[in-house]
Amino acid sequence: MRPTTPTLSLSPGDQEQIQQWLAAYGTPQQVALRSRIVLAAAAGQSDSAIARQLEINRKTVMLWRGRIAEQGMESVWEVAPGRGRKPTYGLEKIKAIVDATLQTKPKGMTQWSCRLMAESQEVSKSTISNIWRSHNLKPHRVKSFKLSRDPRFLEKLTDVVGLYLNPPQQAMVLCVDEKTQIQALDRTQPGLPLKKGRCGTMTHDYKRHGTTTLFAALEVLQGRVIGQCYERHRHQEFLRFLRRLDQEFPGDVPLHLVMDNYGTHKHPRVQAWIKRHPRFIPHFVPTSSSWLNLVERWFGELTSKSVRRGSFCSVKDLQNAITEFLAAWNENPKPFVWTATVESIQEKLSRCRQTLEQIQPGCTQPRSRKAKKKLSS
């Protein structure tokens, strides 16, 4: 008689753990393969179907289905006797290190280092480094974020994403914003050039020669950028830039402007000008959601490839460098392709809000004007 195929059932926690192993940078290939076998088996697929899908032998699927059913999830990390280097520490010790990294902090400090964790767990620094790498743990890094509390978030999100994914015909979609306070920094000493085996250098200290503000509009479909530098970033300068756009796109072609909620964009004189020019159609992103404006992505290109490592002896010198970068970009423009849907963004933000609400209830709810006045007072 053929042996019965053991059934596998995974709890939501087990499924989440397996997904983390698969997503972790540095997870061994054999562990990733076993994890995929587990997920497919738990989904109800047969051994033959899993073997065809993963391009492996059916006996391998039968082996790991039975082993995991008997020994549990942690068995996917086992190394067979006589094969490969034996792990110095067992699963319990590895789990203790991972739990300590995630749930504790060193006394008087904000995050663990390899040296501190090695001393705490009485293991070597290389062991800590390998365990962190295999579980994709990076205590030394942190990412900043800002969750919008705009009461009209979904409405504005749908409006802007709709322009990206399904732009209107016979119209132009422009992402408009200003990059303010771009500093003209001049290094106090000349840097050393790039050589084989040595990177280029630049002095840490610098001299400030003033600032400039760049107003820019990115054509979503073509990737071309219209930009102009001004000394200040008031509504007067923004009106001058709108008139520049009016000249750049002659005729009656509707211009859909994606903008943030900066006060300059909503100034009464700006709103009055837009009313007198009905082909300019403003679309405002939700508050604290500048990531929705694609021109911010282009500002990153400008900063990293022209401004950050430049040395400018005057504001005019800085403006010339920006103009040169604009001209070089527009010779071969490359549009930034938006792929995220409203549903995928909402799903990700829902998970974020759920997690934040567990930490501090009410912290993600829309803030009323009265609450804002109380906080400011």
pLDDT score, position 377: 46
pLDDT score, position 266: 93
Helix (H, G, I), strand (E, B) or coil at 98: helix
Distances (CA, A) of 138 to 25, 135, 360: 11, 9, 24
Query: The CATH number of 153-190+202-331 is which of 3.30.420.10, 3.10.450.710, 3.40.50.2300, 3.90.1150.10?
Result: 3.30.420.10
Bridge-based pairing of strands 255-259 and 172-187 is parallel
The pTM is what?
0.72
pLDDT score, position 84: 62
Helix (H, G, I), strand (E, B) or coil at 11: coil
Q: Provide the CA 41 distance to its chain's centre, in angstroms.
A: 33
Full pLDDT tens readout for the chain, 377 residues: 455 666 777 787 788 888 888 877 667 888 888 888 888 888 888 888 888 888 888 888 888 888 888 887 777 777 666 666 666 777 788 889 999 999 999 999 999 999 999 999 999 999 999 899 888 899 999 888 888 888 899 999 999 999 999 999 889 999 999 999 999 999 988 888 898 888 989 888 899 999 999 999 999 999 999 999 999 999 999 999 999 999 998 888 999 999 999 999 999 999 999 999 999 999 999 998 999 999 999 999 999 999 999 999 999 999 999 999 999 999 999 999 999 999 999 988 888 888 888 888 888 887 665 455 554 44
pLDDT score, position 25: 65
Q: Are 117 and 126 a contacting pair, CB within 8 Å?
A: no
Q: Give the chain's end-to-end CA distance (angstroms, integer).
A: 80
Tokens describing residue 131? 């365990």
pLDDT score, position 1: 45
- Alpha-carbon span 136 to 150, nearest angstrom: 33
DSSP 8-state secondary structure symbol assigned to residue 198: B
- Alpha-carbon span 106 to 123, nearest angstrom: 16
- Alpha-carbon span 259 to 215, nearest angstrom: 12
Distances (CA, A) of 16 to 10, 22, 133, 148, 216: 10, 10, 18, 27, 43
Find the angle CA(282)-CA(283)-CA(285) to the nearest 5 degrees: 140
Q: What residue spans of 43-121 are helical by DSSP H?
A: 47-54, 58-71, 91-103, 114-121
Query: The CATH number of 1-81 is which of 2.20.25, 3.40.50, 1.10.10, 1.10.287?
Result: 1.10.10
- Alpha-carbon span 57 to 64, nearest angstrom: 11
Q: How many CA atoms lie within 13 A of 69 on its CB side?
A: 15
pLDDT score, position 81: 62
Find the angle CA(161)-CA(149)-CA(340) to the nearest 5 degrees: 25
DSSP 8-state secondary structure symbol assigned to residue 315: H
Helix (H, G, I), strand (E, B) or coil at 280: strand
Domain ranges of the chain: 1-81, 100-142, 153-190+202-331
